[in-house]
Homo-oligomer: A and B are copies of this chain.
């Protein structure tokens, strides 16, 4: 694993913040190359074109990454690459869950440049990193069904994950088909496949199942 250099990917849809992250990376590793992506689609294009990365900084609020499901999906696709979650949220709950879903670190967007540099240095050395005020969580927050759901999401194909994301935004099959440039019949076929993998019967239940990821124990489990 690259200790001093390598190619680092910054995936965030906010241009200013992407720039700040890039600077932090370059300060920590002057020799490193930094590439940028402003959506999950762009990120996948880069890797499809053969780009290889030694570290990914991932914003969970970015287009295409829908909360923790984006992390789960990415974690499975790039298993050997350290993955750092960058997020505006500083909820302890979210941070713990991100780590349990396999993030190598968590950098809050409110962090100072120095802290970001420090975090990146730690993580690139194979250590994990958490915000200073956050204690490492001992007892797992996630239950068996959470991991089931994670496995389901990880098993989605790229196109299916894209479709699921648009479903989670409440779009109609017709709209999704138009945006992806395929027929409505195709989207329906993807939907059926997604429902099978998530273990639900229809789109409403799919959305409910997904929301349990982020909400978790707050509102109690649905029987």
Interface residues of A (CB under 8 A from B): 60-61, 66-68, 88-89, 91, 93-94, 167-170, 172, 200-205, 207-208, 211, 214-215, 217-220, 222-223
Closest residue of chain B to A219 (Cβ to Cβ) is: B67
Give the docked Cα–Cα distance between A163 and B203 (Å): 18
CB-CB nearest 10 A-B residue pairs = A170-B205, A67-B219, A61-B220, A211-B211, A170-B208, A207-B207, A214-B219, A203-B204, A89-B218, A204-B204
- Residue contact A89 to B200, C-beta cutoff 8 Å: no
- Residues A60 and B219 in contact, CB atoms below 8 Å apart: yes
A219-B170 contact in complex given A203-B204, A204-B207, A208-B207, C-beta closer than 8 Å: no
Q: Are A218 and B91 in contact (CB under 8 A)?
A: yes
List chain B residues, Cβ under 8 A from A89.
217-220
**Cα–Cα, bound, A88→B205 (Å):** 24
Minimum CB distance partner of A94 in chain B: B218
A62's nearest neighbour on chain B, judged by CB, is: B220
Complex CA–CA separation, A169 to B204 (angstroms): 9
A interface secondary structure, majority? loop
Sampled A-B contacts (19; CB under 8 Å): A66-B219, A67-B219, A68-B219, A88-B220, A89-B219, A89-B220, A91-B93, A168-B208, A169-B208, A170-B201, A170-B202, A170-B205, A203-B204, A204-B207, A207-B207, A211-B211, A211-B215, A214-B215, A215-B215
Nearest B residue to A63 via CB reads B223
Q: Report the Cα distance A217→B217, complex, angstroms.
A: 16
Shortest CB distance A169–B (Å): 6
Which of B203, B205, B219 contacts A61 (CB under 8 A)? B219
Q: Which residues on the B side are within 8 Å of A61 (C-beta)?
A: 219-220
Query: What residues of chain B lie closer than 8 Å to A217, measured between beta carbons?
Result: 89
Expressed in whole angstroms, the minimum distance between the Cβ of A57 and any Cβ of chain B is: 17
A200 contacts which chain B residues (CB < 8 A)? 170
Q: How many angstroms from the CA of A168 to the CA of B219 in the assembled complex?
A: 12
